[in-house]
Amino acid sequence: MASKKLTLFDGEIDIQFDVDKSIIYPNEEVFLEWNVKNAHQIEIEPLQDKLDFSGKKSFLLKEDTKFTLVAKKQWESAKEKYFYSGAESKRNRV
């Protein structure tokens, strides 16, 4: 009987990480939405929650906040960040 190679998560990690507003005012609610493919684990820092590979979550921002979505598979990882400082949102893909 011939053996077959089992390959999981072929291809690069694919991250879609979005926020519903580009300008956030203090004490305003913001929604983060994400969809990750080709990874076996994800987390959004500074959250402590276990997360599905896709989802949507709301937050009330009271201070400068950096959200970093980290997706991992085997020896590879990818990150995408949102940083909120005052009323401005900045996005950074690492």
* Ranges of each domain in the chain: 14-93
CA distances from 11 to 7, 39, 73 (A): 10, 10, 10
Q: What is the pTM for the complete model shown?
A: 0.74
Q: How many CB atoms lie within 10 A of CB 17?
A: 21
**Residue the block writes with tokens 């076996």:** 40
Nearest to 88 by CA among 21, 14, 4, 11: 21
Reported confidence tier of residue 1, pLDDT bands at 50, 70, 90: low
pLDDT tens per residue across span 76-89:
888 888 776 655 55
Nearest to 17 by CA among 75, 66, 76, 86: 66
pLDDT tens per residue across span 45-67:
888 888 899 999 998 888 878 88
**5 pLDDT higher than 70:** no
pLDDT tens per residue across span 14-46:
999 998 887 777 788 889 999 999 999 999 988
Note the CATH number of domain 14-93: 2.60.40
Q: How many CB atoms lie within 10 A of CB 34?
A: 21
